[in-house]
Structure 1
Amino acid sequence: MRYLLTLHMNPTLWATLTDEQKNGVYEGHGTFIKLVTESGEMVETKALAEPAETKTVRVKDGKAQTETGPFVDAATFLCGYYVVDVESEARAVELAAQIPDAAYTAVEVRAVVHEG
């Protein structure tokens, strides 16, 4: 079963971390990627741009309207994800706990119910 492990960033919290803690997060992702690649559970991973670089598109009266910025104005934002192919939800949760961001913010585990 495939699961999406989403990473969420809180810039205010991130700013309070020491350089050593930030480097630990970066290095921890390398370790995590190695773990899930070697186990054969890695499907893909992506890091996403900050909300300031986001374009939000809405269609009104049949015309596309584009705004700069995120859809949701919130303290945290989606900053990346992993897709893993594991035997159980419990394994997906176990892997999510090993993502270094989990020490500072939430990692959401969501089953993939359709792929196109």
Structure 2
Amino acid sequence: MMMRPNPANTQLYLLLLRSTESRWHELPDEDGDAETSAHADLITALQQDGRLVYCSPLAHPAEGALVHFRDGQVQVQPESIDADPIAGFYIVRCASRDEAVALAAQIPDAAYAPVLVRALMDVPAVDGTMTETPQGA
């Protein structure tokens, strides 16, 4: 896979989206379509200005797993469906935390659930870290 370096003076941020299952069941189709369209518009804008690294919705929590390694044994449990399960994420390239926060506020989900903003740590000695961006992402 072709990789291009992260431009100087920028940091990668994870914008973690939360949602509730009940919200999606109660959301009228036209509102869901409008929200999907708003995400698509934001994704297009972030791609055009080079700030989007990657984004994706996540499958239903029932399809996930919690994996622990304790006492020499692998333990797998179903993912709990808490009040606000993780629904998706954006990885974006920003010049500052304030810029990442401003982008998070533009995500449609921020109108009804908090969006977590976290900087990704730079680990230059480890190949495959997100300090480099997949071409076309």
Per the alignment, residue 109 of structure 2 pairs with 101
The residue that corresponds to 2:7 in the other structure is none
1:29 matched residue in structure 2: 39
Letter in 2 for 1:58: H
Question: Is 1:91 paired with 2:91?
Answer: no
Matches within 5 A, 1:39-78: 39-67=49-77, 69-70=78-79, 72-78=80-86
Query: In the alignment, is the contact (CA less than 8 A) between 2:62 and 2:81 conserved in 1?
Result: no
Offset, 1:43: 0.9
Q: Specify the alignment match of 1:7 in structure 2.
A: 17
Cα separation, 2, equivalents of 1:87 and 1:114: 14
Instruction: Could you list the structure 1 runs, at least 4 aligned residues long, displaced by more than 4 angstroms after superposition.
Output: none
- The alpha carbon displacement at 1:60 in A equals 2.6
Which blocks of at least 5 consecutive residues in structure 1 are unaligned?
none
With the length of structure 1 as denominator, give the TM-score of the two structures.
Answer: 0.88
Higher helix proportion (structure 1 or 2): 1
Task: Measure how far apart 1:19 and its partner are.
Answer: 1.3
Gaps of 5+ in 2: 1-10, 124-128, 130-137
- Report how far residue 13 of structure 1 moved: 2.4
Measure how far apart 1:73 and its partner are: 4.6
Q: Deviations over 1:79-111 (max 9, x none)?
A: 111011111111111111111111221211111
Q: Which amino acid aligns with 2:109?
A: D
- Aligned residues between the structures: 114
